[in-house]
Amino acid sequence: MKRAKLGPWLAIVFGMLYFVIPLIGTFEFSLRVRRGEYSFDAYRTVLTDPRFQSSFLYSTVLALATIVVGVLLVVPTAYWIQLRLPKLRPIVEFITLMPLVIPAIVLVFGYLRIYNSSSLLPLTGSEWSTNLLLTCSYVTLALPYMYRAVDTGLRAIDVRSLTEAAESLGAGWPTILFKVIFPNVRVAVLSGAFLTFAIVIGEFTMASLLDRPAFGPYLQLMGANRAYEPSALAIIAFVITWACMGLIQLLGRGPAAAAGKR
């Protein structure tokens, strides 16, 4: 029995080392600004950098916009597919998986060609429309994760009964969608939202090629020009990712624990 356990332990220890050592290395490196002693100078430099603040704010707002657009696009679609058009499910699922197949850089290349300032829909023509295009690009990137999360949430509830009950009480479609369906898939929507946030906040390729002042291009700029600040930024990014995933876990635990009690 004891011997059988050695292999799994080895795998776990190896995995933990592989994941933890780069984090320790990065953290240690980020403290090395002063010669001979550790300090948080790199963090101070980064956090007080106005470009950090503005790019981080920009990416946060963009991430929130992405979440709103993504949720408004995905929840009604997944609901409708479940309720009325189950035959379309394979097609919709295929489309939601396409962003995993087509690399982001290819997609953004296509956008730049189709939505340039001399096209029918010149989205890259002005600042606000480029922001809109970037938001839609991020909705596309997050589509596989958002759809999966919401679809799982919808499968867990009895969509048909809820709809019929609401209808028989005289509810219209907006009421059903926003007051009945949304609250019931809240946890799923939120976990999709946090995942979206984690993906969008540091995204580089699309923001850089659409030339927007997002956090990703700022990271690249720092990486190319500074020695210790990039490590501090990597630690900050890691903390954000960790926070998003932790919140998802926390959310997932709530209803699971409730179901266990029943």
Distance CA 111, CA 124 (A): 9
- Shortest CB 171 distance to another protein, Å: 16
Which among 55, 66, 84 has a CA at the least distance from the CA of 134? Answer: 66
**54 vs 249 by CB, closer to another protein:** 249
With contact defined as beta carbons under 8 Å apart, do 119 and 129 qualify?
no
- Shortest CB 206 distance to another protein, Å: 10
- In the three-class reduction of DSSP (H, G, I as helix; E, B as strand; rest coil), residue 141 is classed as helix
- Shortest CB 130 distance to another protein, Å: 14
- Shortest CB 50 distance to another protein, Å: 20
Which among 12, 14, 68, 36 has a CA at the least distance from the CA of 197? Answer: 68
**89 vs 186 by CB, closer to another protein:** 89
**12 vs 68 by CB, closer to another protein:** 12
Name the CA dihedral angle for 160, 162, 165, 170, rounded to a multiple of 10 degrees: -100
**64 vs 92 by CB, closer to another protein:** 92
- Shortest CB 2 distance to another protein, Å: 11
Which among 87, 83, 84, 93 has a CA at the least distance from the CA of 159? Answer: 83
Q: What are the Cα distances from residue 95, in Å, to 99, 139, 143, 149?
A: 8, 13, 9, 15
**107 vs 157 by CB, closer to another protein:** 107
